[in-house]
């Protein structure tokens, strides 16, 4: 899984990259993002775990400020989700900037569609796949893009999406907009940008770029203090992690013990046998049963397994059980 940071020039892409990776001095354009999850810290305290392990994903700082040329565009194929940064600390009109940038995305996708249409028309005889239905779909998408609609908002079916699996259309991927702001500034402009995001179906989040960058140089306690000052609920990295999980349809399950507490990502809706496979292929192969308690129930029982059992909240499940967000798994296996 890969996430790419895009956005207009000087909007704060690299700043966000540094903050999300907690690396003020990072020089390259790729790094691993840890999905901060306060539940992991809590569990690790309860279990006196020696190590805390967060789910991770690769992040790319993409310098796309000059638009998307053919070569850059094809590189985007590997990106699962885009984070688009809007400058609201300096720009006169962040909403207009965003609209302009979305237009760049739409134009890049239109060009890719046009190229595919041209190719099909030129090589009609040589192409073995069902070109008529692909052509129909391409024309439908072309029309939507010409009406400034992002492809992800036009209700493509699962089968239609399959046809496009080999393409890089940017507007088909989820986009989270980060509005880079400074305290007490431009509230009306920020609101306008947020309303625009809602109108295109993109979730957005506020980011105090300058302050966050300064905080990066401080120690974790000072960072926590800042989060508290910003009011409950402001924790950029954790909120970002939640938004990304939502957009990518990921849940987090946990394994916890004295060695480590680990958070694992799993696609929502999958059975516990797949979760077992994430932990280790041997555990999947030798799966017998899973003992499951959800984090919320565990905490309600004061983190005491005995109480969890007495309250009947420890479930024994077979391999078909669909894992829920926050499930703590203890998988019995035999190989």
Ligand X SMILES: Nc1nc2c(ncn2[C@@H]2O[C@H](COP(=O)(O)OP(=O)(O)OP(=O)(O)O)[C@@H](O)[C@H]2O)c(=O)[nH]1
**Contact residues: ligand X, CB under 6 A:** 7, 9-15, 63, 65, 89, 180, 182, 209-210
- DSSP letter string over 179-242? EE--TTS-HHHHHHHHHHHHHTT-EEEEE-HHHHHHHHTS-HHHHHHHHHHT-TT--HHHHHHH
Least Å distance, CB 17 to ligand X, is 7
Residue 210: contacted member of Mg ion, ligand X, none (CB under 5 to 8 Å, by partner type): ligand X
Counting contacts by CB under 5 A, is residue 211 touching Mg ion? no
Residue 89: contacted member of Mg ion, ligand X, none (CB under 5 to 8 Å, by partner type): ligand X
How far is Cα 69 from Cα 92, in angstroms, rounded to an integer? 27
Residue 127: contacted member of ligand X, Mg ion, none (CB under 5 to 8 Å, by partner type): none
Residue among 65 and 268 whose Cβ is closer to ligand X = 65
How far is Cα 23 from Cα 95, in angstroms, rounded to an integer? 29
What is the number of the residue whose Cβ is closest to Mg ion?
A: 14
Residue among 236 and 254 whose Cβ is closer to Mg ion = 236
Least Å distance, CB 182 to ligand X, is 5
Which positions from 4 through 33 interact with Mg ion, judged by CB under 5 A? Answer: 13-14
Least Å distance, CB 228 to ligand X, is 20
Taking the alpha carbons at both ends of the chain, their separation in whole angstroms is: 30
**Residue 185 burial (C-beta neighbours within 10 Å; 0-12, 13-18, 19+):** exposed
Least Å distance, CB 29 to ligand X, is 10
Residue among 85 and 323 whose Cβ is closer to ligand X = 85
Alpha helices in the chain (DSSP H): 13-21, 38-46, 70-75, 94-122, 131-146, 158-163, 187-199, 209-216, 220-229, 236-247, 272-279, 281-285, 295-300, 305-310
Least Å distance, CB 23 to ligand X, is 13
Query: Can you give the binding site for Mg ion, defined by CB under 5 A?
Result: 13-14
């Amino acid at each position: 899984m890969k996430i790419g940071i895009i956005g207009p020039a000087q909007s704060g892409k690299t700043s966000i990259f540094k903050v999300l990776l907690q690396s003020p001095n990072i020089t390259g354009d790729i790094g691993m993002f840890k999905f901060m999850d306060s539940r992991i810290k809590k569990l690790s305290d309860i279990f006196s775990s020696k190590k805390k392990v967060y789910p991770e994903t690769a992040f790319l700082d993409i310098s796309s400020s000059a638009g998307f040329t053919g070569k850059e565009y094809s590189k985007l194929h590997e990106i699962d989700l885009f984070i688009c940064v809007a400058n609201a600390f300096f720009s006169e009109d962040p909403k207009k900037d965003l609209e302009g940038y979305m237009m760049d995305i739409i134009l890049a996708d239109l060009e890719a569609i046009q190229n595919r249409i041209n190719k099909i028309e030129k090589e009609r005889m040589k192409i073995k796949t069902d070109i008529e239905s692909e052509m129909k779909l391409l024309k439908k998408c072309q029309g939507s893009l010409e009406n400034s609609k992002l492809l992800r908002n036009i209700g493509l079916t699962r089968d239609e999406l399959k046809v496009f699996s080999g393409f890089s259309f940017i507007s088909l991927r989820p986009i989270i907009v980060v509005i880079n702001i400074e305290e007490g500034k431009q509230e009306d402009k920020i609101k306008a940008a947020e309303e625009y995001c809602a109108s295109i179906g993109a979730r957005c989040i506020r980011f105090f770029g300058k302050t966050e960058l300064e905080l990066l140089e401080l120690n974790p306690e000072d960072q926590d203090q800042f989060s508290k000052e910003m009011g409950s609920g402001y924790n950029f990295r954790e909120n970002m992690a939640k938004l990304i999980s939502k957009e990518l349809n990921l849940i987090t399950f946990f394994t916890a013990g004295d060695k480590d507490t680990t958070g694992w990502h799993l696609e929502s809706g999958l059975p516990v046998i797949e979760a077992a496979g994430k932990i280790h292929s041997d555990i999947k192969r030798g799966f017998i049963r899973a003992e499951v308690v959800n984090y919320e129930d565990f905490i309600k029982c004061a983190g005491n397994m005995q109480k969890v059992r007495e309250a009947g909240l420890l479930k024994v499940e077979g391999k078909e059980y669909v894992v829920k967000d926050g499930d703590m798994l203890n998988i019995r296996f035999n190989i």
